[in-house]
Amino acid sequence: MTYEEIVLQAEANVAIRKQQLEEKAMMDYKAAQLNAYGFNDPKKMPKPDQHYPFLKAEDKQESESVQQQDWRINKARMMEYTEMIKQTRERKNKQEKEGVDHGTG
């Protein structure tokens, strides 16, 4: 891998890890809320679909459209990264070719 490819991959890994940590933090917070309900007032404990709105059927349709949108965004980013990698490789090949031409003359 070239330096630019390594940097892009590292940045992607950081972004993925950050998103995972945010999701985990949110789930931990929700779990703490449910524990508080369960311990202090179990009769008022919300149903799972009330506490986790993404469990509702209506929200599933909305989340699918969001996932499709995310998919398109990810595809566009991947195409940009691919183009950047191609350009980097072309520059590298051009530099190597120029180096070979200057070395033989």
Q: What distance in Å separates the CA atoms of residue 68 and residue 50, rounded to the nearest whole number?
A: 25
16, 34 in Cβ contact below 8 A? no
Q: For 42, which DSSP code?
A: G
Q: For 47, which DSSP code?
A: P
Q: What distance in Å separates the CA atoms of residue 48 and residue 43, rounded to the nearest whole number?
A: 14
pLDDT digits (tens, 9 = 90+) for 44-98: 888 877 777 777 765 556 666 666 677 788 888 888 888 888 998 898 888 888 8
Per DSSP, the three-state class of 1 is: coil
Query: pLDDT value at position 63?
Result: 61
pLDDT digits (tens, 9 = 90+) for 62-76: 666 666 677 788 888
pTM of the model: 0.43
